[in-house]
Amino acid sequence: MILDLLNRFEPDGDVLLRAISAHVTDEMLECISTADYGCDVDAHMAALEQLRDTGVLPDSPGWVPMEVLELIRWSEPENPEWKPGRTGEFGHWIRAFSCAAILRAEHEPWNYHYNDGSTCSTTIQLILSLEVLPIDLNREAMRNFAWLILKSDPEGENDSIREYGVVLLWFALRLKPAVADEDLIALAEWVVRRAGELNWDPRLKEFPGLKAMVIGCQKRIAWEMFGVKLAELDLSGRPMELQTWVRLIAEQLVD
């Protein structure tokens, strides 16, 4: 059932990175390329230009360009003291580009795995930057996260599907024309079920599935901020069953 549901969201693993890349300038790439104290700038820049212009990473992505992408992933454009990175819209473009690229690199054909354990942070940093950018990327993001879930085995043991599922629901809830209520309810039910099944860490066993995800994430505060946004989403006119599921998910994200 979940496979049929995800396919209705028109999954595409490249559509979001392509859309972001269209707004990434050479100056932005230069900023990313220098993130590692200016080391290997030329090599990073060449790989970043290839990524932006073609959507393709080196055959075996590693230090180049993943090191600088991961460093910018941690940037905080709202904090003028944070380095590396930039403030304002510029900073959010480079963070969104970096995060989208990292998430794409984790899957075929690159299967980059050195980011293990930080996918929840990469995901929320991407989402919060997309919220700031001046263009609507809801549909592209929805399609991207549906693809990420499909590639992560929706009924398997990859716990990244928890965060992927939550943000897929977020973008699908805000899409116009509206996604069918029954599809949103089915997605929300799946998110809650799988989050509970994947809560295997004995250190967090006292917490519900999604709360365990938030507590275990380096960007816990960012997820809690997102949970507030989800709770405040205007769902008036939507079925009470859907509102209840969304409220339940939001409550698990907020401390």
CB 36 within 8 A of CB 68: yes
Q: pLDDT tens digits for 170-198?
A: 999 999 999 999 999 999 999 999 999 98
Measure Cα distances from 182 to 9, 103, 178, 238 in Å. Answer: 13, 28, 11, 10
**Domain layout of the chain by residue ranges:** 1-12+138-255, 24-134
Beta bridge partners of 65: 62
The model's pTM is: 0.95
* Integer Cα distance of 120 and 103 in angstroms: 10
Angle at 77 between CA 47 and CA 222, to 5 degrees: 105
Q: Say whether 102 sits in a helix, a strand or coil.
A: helix
What are 160's two structure tokens? 């990244």
Q: pLDDT tens digits for 197-231?
A: 986 666 666 676 899 899 989 999 999 999 999 99
Taking alpha carbons only, the member of 158, 157, 177, 179 closest to residue 168 is 179
